[in-house]
Structure 1
């Protein structure tokens, strides 16, 4: 466990070197947050103040929490693993006395946790000061929200690992990353809450891990979902956590046997 703790800290330190990128991300998050406020608030008011269970306060919470988590939840599909498979340096990873799958997810988690500080929290603070938002009621709501957030970040890292691991067979995964970028952002609820989707599309989204990365943590952190329903969302996250981790282990083992490195 000491090794993985150091990998987590290494992920945090590595991401902390990109300070200007973090500032740029904060500006982008805030800008698009304000644009979403204009569009989605207008939709709520046009619906008479309630849109599929969202009033202005709940919609504001959705907007600023989702924008704040955007830097931490990997929805772009990019991962170091894909590059290391392509150039063959993943061989060195397999020679090390640690699990390649677990090490990659731990490092990704460190990156995600760091981004909560320069991008997530300031974005949220700006939203609270400028617009205001709903918050959970009671300690239990915050505890479940924090648990859902951590689970969402791990599921995000585990899912994007699967995209990178496809490089064992495809070699070039950039097309797959673009497909992942388009699909994940939409089904995770980045643009609009999945509660606003048509029934068939909402059901389709629930059959993927993407809402567990973003939408479910947002629902719990905003206090929109409480009680047994909140526990149900955390339960769904746990299911997806087990499935994505199991798939990652299987692909890592199969990829290790498939791997061919040429050159020298």
Structure 2
């Protein structure tokens, strides 16, 4: 319900931007594309899940993480499998309501390319994996700093804005937009799957976005594995 209410607010704001822009286009998005961007983004929020996950940090703080280290499966793999299951459930319970409500009140854009039907689900899957990896790294800070509130606040404040959840990142200056795409995985969380869905760019560019997400997914998961390994060494040194 909350995502749906905020969907109306965001949609009216972005449509007003498009109305005030020349030709009814804002950064290359027309009104139906902006409506789709907003409503599908609101649905994806619960699927990708930017905030609210502190399971690893809590287990590190209480010492229960020692049990995870004794299991025959790597902690990163185990937590990722759980998160993928959560995301799959959220598709049916949290994704569909905003996506179904939006078209009742606004003109939305429906994809016209067959390739979008393949690229969009793949893009969403990669977004879930990348976001999990980012949240894992934020939680893993507790191995060294036992108070997660600072890193968690930075993640909460920066992730939504820099991921394209609140507005399309193409509204930003080109140099900043390109820097975010090149140097951070954040645009892969929302901007990439939503741009793929509204077909803002030609087909090859769509495929390139998904390819970029795949690269970031590998890098982020590799970073999680490295950090986890260093954390385990730290626990051994401390006698954990």
Give the TM-score range, shorter chain.
over 0.9
Match among 204, 219, 222 for residue 243 of structure 1: 219
Deviation at 1:171, TM superposition (A): 1.7
Deviation at 1:261, TM superposition (A): 11
SS at match of 1:54: coil
> Contact 1:134–1:222 at 8 Å: present in 2 too?
yes
Match of 1:217 in 2: 193
Structure 1 residues 64 and 41: CA distance shift in structure 2, 3 A:
same
2:208 corresponds to 1:232: yes
2:43 corresponds to 1:68: yes
Structure 1 residues 204 and 76: CA distance shift in structure 2, 3 A:
farther
Match of 1:35 in 2: 9
Match of 2:168 in 1: 193
Match of 2:55 in 1: 80
> Contact 2:199–2:206 at 8 Å: present in 1 too?
no
SS at match of 1:259: helix
Match of 1:59 in 2: 34
Structure-2-length-normalised TM-score: 0.94
Deviation at 1:199, TM superposition (A): 2.0
Match of 1:111 in 2: 86
| Separation in structure 2 between the aligned mates of residue 222 and residue 119 of structure 1, nearest angstrom | 20
Deviation at 1:180, TM superposition (A): 0.3
Deviation at 1:135, TM superposition (A): 2.0
Match of 2:120 in 1: 145
Deviations 1:185-215 (A, max 9, x none): 0110111100001123212321211111111
> Contact 2:61–2:142 at 8 Å: present in 1 too?
yes
Deviation at 1:183, TM superposition (A): 0.7
SS at match of 2:120: helix
Deviation at 1:162, TM superposition (A): 0.8
| Separation in structure 2 between the aligned mates of residue 51 and residue 190 of structure 1, nearest angstrom | 16
| Separation in structure 2 between the aligned mates of residue 229 and residue 122 of structure 1, nearest angstrom | 30
Unaligned runs of 5+ in 1: 1-26
Deviation at 1:259, TM superposition (A): 2.3
Deviation at 1:260, TM superposition (A): 7.0
Unaligned runs of 5+ in 2: none
| Separation in structure 2 between the aligned mates of residue 260 and residue 171 of structure 1, nearest angstrom | 17
| Separation in structure 2 between the aligned mates of residue 122 and residue 261 of structure 1, nearest angstrom | 49
Match of 1:258 in 2: 234
Structure-1-length-normalised TM-score: 0.86
Q: How many residues align?
A: 236
